[in-house]
Chain A
Amino acid sequence: MRNIFFKIGLIITSTLLINTKIQCQQKLQASGFVSAMPTFMFSDISQEWSNDFTLHNRFDFSYTPSSTFTFEAGLRNRIISGDMITSGMIDIGNYNTDQGWLDITENIASGKSYALNSSIDRLFMNITFNKLEITLGRQRINWGISTAWNPNDIFNAYSFFDFDYIKRPGSDALRFKYYTGNTSVLEFATAVDNNKKVTSALFSRFSLKSFDLQFSTGIFKSDHIYLGAGWSGYFNRVGFKGELSTFVPYQNRNDREQIWSATIGVDYIFENSFTIITEFLYQSGSNKQILSEGLFTANNLDARSLSFSEYSLFASTSYPITPLLNASLSAMYYPSMPGFFVNPSVEYSISNNWYLSAIAQYFNIETEDNKTEISMLYLRLKANF
């Protein structure tokens, strides 16, 4: 039954794709990318490697027949192949799972060593009545402020390690936005996930002097009361931002605790574009499951449990060595584990629309019964259109 949603979604997106060429460019816009990414993974460089390859493509369409209506659809296609699938390290069945209420994610084809996965991660219509906007369908509701972890991003948390999914997943929601001023908004959103759990919340953001402030409250995943606040602003060139959330269980109270999750961060952009971002995350409910179920997907993440450690530290620097070559270095440290993560990368602009990147991820994490050491190397050629 849920399969039918995928087919309907696919029909809508492909109709939009075909119409792109016919319709006036102003009304219908299409964009996207294609990327090819070989990946090499090992625990010990002298031992067996896992060699994999991902061909990744996305189409995004928006159709604006009038100033009142907008329709948007986004289709993500991936061909994932290699040793991780052959060896069973990755269960391709997981790719088939849609986190939303609609099941519009499918393994269209798969074999012993590959999977062709398609996911419609945007599919919504937006209606505007002056200052009021109503959006229905699969959409991204992003209330986060911080860079690595977002306790206020209650509708769809994302994994910092999943760098190849910039667009991030959407959620199946109904959202009302009322712009109370030129730089302020009041929102109400309600979303249902694949377990039929409902998250509904009220959100307000406004500008106060050189700071943006936000407050939100609601029901999280049908069984927690949620309260959140966040801020973002600058003291001259020094950015200061943070998010604070608490989740209070109101069902099965005996076996659950109130959870706190908070980030605080400082960033600085030097005159020569050298950027430093630092962040600190505290969460009372750490999520060790992330370690066992895969670091690279957001499937097992939510705003309550963004990291596998109670305390997490993040620092990131980036610098354009030349205007065409950007280098960055990010790192995380988990003092309570102990463990750390290092992530150097370089990106080269080949032409206006082509980019070549080299990315490395190194994890070294100790738990009571296990020590995980993984190195990942990615080479990515990406063309945007």
Chain B
Amino acid sequence: MKKSILLILSLTLISALKAQSAKDIIIKADQKWQGLSQISSMEMTIVRPTWERTIAFKGWTKGRDYSLTLITAPAREKGQTFLKRQNEMWTWNPSINRLIKLPAAMMSQGWMGSDFTNDDILKESSIVVDYTHKIIGKEEINGIMCHKIELIPTEEAAVVWGKIIKWISIDETDQIKNEYYDEDEMLVKTDIASDIKLMGDRKIPTRIEVIPADKPGNKTIVIITNIKYNVKMDNSFFSQQNMKKLK
């Protein structure tokens, strides 16, 4: 009886430790990728079997609550900006000089026709807070040894995924591969990160391919052309005034 109690206790302890370390890895990977704040320039190419379109944008992000995004290409959308403050979103359209309030529900929609969602761009949900984490193995991805970690959303989390599997490099804590599953555990899309380069104070993957599971020949490629981490920005930087001033 005593033995079995001890066994249960130690098993609980081991699994608690393991869970803790999976969470630690996720926290570390998330902190490395997000920083406390960032200013980035990116190019996103939507690849379809018969055509390709490229969108370029610049983003100012602080934590998960504040972001400003400026579209820099193509010409027609250039100058359009998006502001997010907590749960509120606005878009500024310079061609008609009008500020438009956006519904928060638009977050889960594909961003400008891509395989990315607003949630990916505006970073609404948190891989740390909104999920529970478990290490389920080790695997090599493109020559990089990774922890394989399973993320299951917590009951109260309002997230779009039913499950995420992440491959995080053991040496550098980079998110090398992600698999996103829906609530029926069907694979929806896969991200693969590559081209690790020095960006500011850290080395990070600068090319991410997003491949939807059910659409062969389709993918979205994101290339980070520049990123600065932990730039000091006050919450008041994320304002309607600055939406109209971004260059």
Contacts and interface: CB of A to CB of B under 8 A. Distances in A.
A168 B93 CA distance: 13
Interface string A209-244: 011100000000000000000001110110100000
A372 interface: no
Contact of A210 (B88, B100, B108, B247): B88
Contacts of A320: 113
A31 B78 contact: yes
Nearest to B77: A384
Contacts of B109: 269, 271, 273
Interface string A153-177: 0000000000000111000000000
A353 B75 contact: yes
Contacts of B240: 179, 182-185
Interface residues of B, number: 37
B197 interface: no
Given A233-B101, A323-B113, A384 B74 contact: yes
A5 interface: no
A194 interface: no
Nearest to B98: A142
A168 B235 contact: no
B236 interface: yes
Contact of A234 (B51, B75, B98, B103): B103
Nearest to A166: B95
Main secondary structure of the interface of B (DSSP, over half): mixed
Contacts of B245: 67, 128
A64 B76 contact: no
Q: Which of A33, A167, A179, A182 has the most CB of B within 10 A?
A: A182
B128 interface: no
B28 interface: no
A211 B104 CA distance: 12
Interface residues of A, number: 45
A336 interface: no
A385 interface: yes
Interface in A320-361: 320, 323-324, 349, 352-353, 355
A234 B101 contact: yes
Contact of B75 (A142, A237, A324, A384): A384
Contact of A385 (B75, B100, B241): B75
Contacts of A237: 103, 105
Contact of B241 (A31, A166, A179): A179
Contacts of A128: 245
Contacts of A324: 51, 53
B105 A183 contact: no
A121 to B, nearest CB: 12
A131 interface: yes
A183 B51 contact: no
B109 to A, nearest CB: 7
A236 B247 contact: no
Contact of B53 (A144, A184, A352): A352
26 contacts: A33-B76, A139-B97, A142-B96, A142-B98, A181-B239, A182-B239, A182-B240, A183-B90, A183-B239, A184-B240, A185-B241, A210-B87, A212-B101, A236-B105, A269-B109, A271-B108, A320-B113, A323-B48, A324-B51, A324-B53, A352-B54, A353-B74, A353-B75, A384-B74, A384-B75, A384-B76
Interface of A: 26, 29, 31, 33, 64, 67, 128, 131, 133, 139-142, 144, 166-168, 179, 181-185, 207, 210-212, 232-234, 236-237, 239, 269, 271, 273, 320, 323-324, 349, 352-353, 355, 384-385
Shortest 10 CB-CB distances between A and B: which pairs? Answer: A384-B75, A182-B239, A323-B113, A234-B103, A140-B97, A237-B105, A142-B97, A179-B241, A384-B76, A352-B74
Given A167-B95, A183-B90, A210-B104, 10 more contacts: A31-B79, A166-B95, A166-B96, A167-B96, A182-B240, A211-B101, A323-B53, A352-B54, A352-B73, A384-B76
